[in-house]
Homo-oligomer: A and B are copies of this chain.
Amino acid sequence: MSNAENSPHLPIEDFRKYGYQLVDWLADYFSNIGDQRILPDITPGDIRSMLPEGAPEQPESMDDILSDLDRVVMPGMAHWQHPGWFAFFPSGVSPVSVLGEFVAAGLATQGMMWSTAPSPTEIENTVLDWLVDLLGLPPAWRIDTGPGGGVLQMSASDSTHLSLAIARHHAVQAGHATDSLVAYGSEQAHSSIEKGARIAGFRHIRSIETDASFAMDVDALSNQIEEDLASGLVPTWICSAVGTTSTTAMDPIRSIAAVAKAHDMWHHADAAYAGSAMICPEFRHLQDGVELVDSYTFNPHKWLLTNFDCSVFWVGNREKLIDAMSILPAYLKNESSGNPDAIDYRDWHVPLGRRFRALKLWFVLRSYGAEKLRDFVRSHVDWAKELEKQLVEDNRFEIVAPRTLALVCFRHLGGNEATKSLANAINASGTAYLTPSVIDDTDFIRVSIGSTWTEQRHVDALWELIDLNGFPI
């Protein structure tokens, strides 16, 4: 119908033409990412200076617009999908997930309620139930068998913030003053803990000391809680990191759960990166005790081949979530909260509107199948092990934190300056990118292996760069 003569929209035949063209453009991009310089050679303002001051009055041609992908966008890209990208954590993507996102964009449905998006809603809760089993999580978190359930969110920051808002809501309902509530995380926890707690209105946010492996020191936690109680404060929320951002340290969930239970705290687990690894049974010991937490988040958009945004948030008891998020009067709550087949996801998070995010995840889980997803994760862990071995056997380097999954943290024994120089030399190569970091005043280098297009040869090439640039001590 956009072919109507007076239609303002792109004619359908042009949509086909430019659609094909962009499929080819992305196919070429996927094929050639490795040939790009990982980081752009620009300064702030360079991209903006290529753009006009204001929007055009008259239509521009699609040819002109699409040619600006190469003229304007590419020169300012940090290529997260470059196979030599070892920085931060991976930004997940796969050809299949991109196709899913494309279809979801075209359907342009609004999934705030079951009734406004029945198939997106049911596909979402089905796929999240699949993931409960795939990751070996408690069956009680499946919406069809348990009191829990999952919902897709934008990011782990949103999920963590949500768990904080739930915890605060129930603490206040129980009669406590908002300003008396305390949130706890380890000093190695992700910045989203402090930020989420602040946004959720917590005035007291504690960073608990960690042990030699950078995992939370539970004795220190208990001491801090006693101190806070003595001051008249109310321990309300605690986060266990299942893989800290800095070094993927694993907080002792089971011990922390005992403390949380003793003080009636909400216990949230942040497995943003590491959660994807739980598809492999051999890694699940890293989150021993996970069945005891109240909420859990992990990001398929990190390490499970699904493009951002796609963060899963599970709760052990969905009533507590819905009580905090729904603003419907009680007499209207039945359908959505009581019928797991007709979830109204608007009552499961901050936003009302929501797109069909589950489609791409459904595509990914089916197209790869569980076995290939496990192989994908295992290959990265194996390559990380191999790199770790090379570093350990070389007397110029040392490992600064235990490797739990596919993140290797090392330093040059020449000291902080030597370590920084090494990182800079590697990043200046344009063929590999890793994150220089600091822990306990010690500079180190994070090598995160997990990008979609990374192969063993790219990790080998990284080792060659390290070897070449790591001057003798």
Contact = CB atoms under 8 A, between A and B. Distances in A.
Contact of A353 (B106, B117, B168, B301): B301
Interface stretch (A9-17, A220-228, A250-258, A381-389): A9-17
Given A1-B453, A91-B108, A366-B60, A26 B30 contact: no
A127 B69 CA distance: 15
A40 B115 CA distance: 9
Given A25-B103, A44-B342, A95 B60 contact: no
Size bracket of the A interface: 35 or more
A376 B8 CA distance: 7
Contact of A309 (B48, B51, B64, B353): B353
A372 interface: yes
A211 interface: no
A330 interface: no
Nearest to A83: B1
A97 interface: yes
A367 B455 contact: no
Contacts of A157: 350-353
B77 A118 contact: yes
A101 interface: yes
Interface in A277-300: none
Given A101-B101, A102-B102, A366-B56, A350 B126 contact: no
A402 interface: no
Contacts of A47: 118-119, 122-123
Contact of A96 (B10, B25, B76): B10
Interface stretch (A193-201, A260-268, A416-424, A461-469): A193-201
Interface in A90-145: 91-99, 101-103, 105-110, 114-120, 122-123, 125-127, 130-131, 133-134
A23 B19 contact: yes
B103 A69 contact: yes
Copies of chain A in the complex: 2
A54 B22 contact: no
Contact of A55 (B62, B102, B134): B134
Interface string A217-246: 000000000000000000000000000000
Contact of A341 (B12, B44, B59, B80): B44
Contacts of A57: 369-371
B56 A370 contact: yes
Contacts of A363: 65
Nearest to A75: B119
A186 interface: no
Contacts of A327: 191, 194-195, 198
A404 interface: no
Given A20-B20, A95-B2, A102 B26 contact: yes
Interface in A4-57: 4, 7-10, 12, 14-16, 18-20, 22-27, 29-31, 33-34, 40, 42, 44-48, 51, 54-57
Nearest to A205: B327
A366 B353 CA distance: 26
A213 interface: no
Given A8-B375, A108-B308, A118-B44, A51 B126 contact: yes
A154 B351 contact: yes
A318 interface: no
B123 A72 contact: yes
A66 B179 CA distance: 52
B110 A308 contact: yes
A15 B1 contact: no
B23 A117 contact: no
Q: Most chain-B CB neighbours within 10 Å: which of A30, A177, A203?
A: A30
Contacts of A437: none
A1 B69 contact: no
B9 A452 contact: yes
A131 B365 CA distance: 39
Given A60-B367, A98-B102, A453-B1, A109 B78 contact: yes
A91 B355 CA distance: 10
Interface in A168-195: 168-169, 172, 177-179, 191-192, 194-195
Contact of A178 (B9, B45, B110, B203): B203
Q: Which 9 A-B pairs have the closest CB atoms?
A: A76-B119, A201-B201, A19-B23, A93-B108, A44-B342, A45-B341, A44-B341, A101-B105, A47-B122
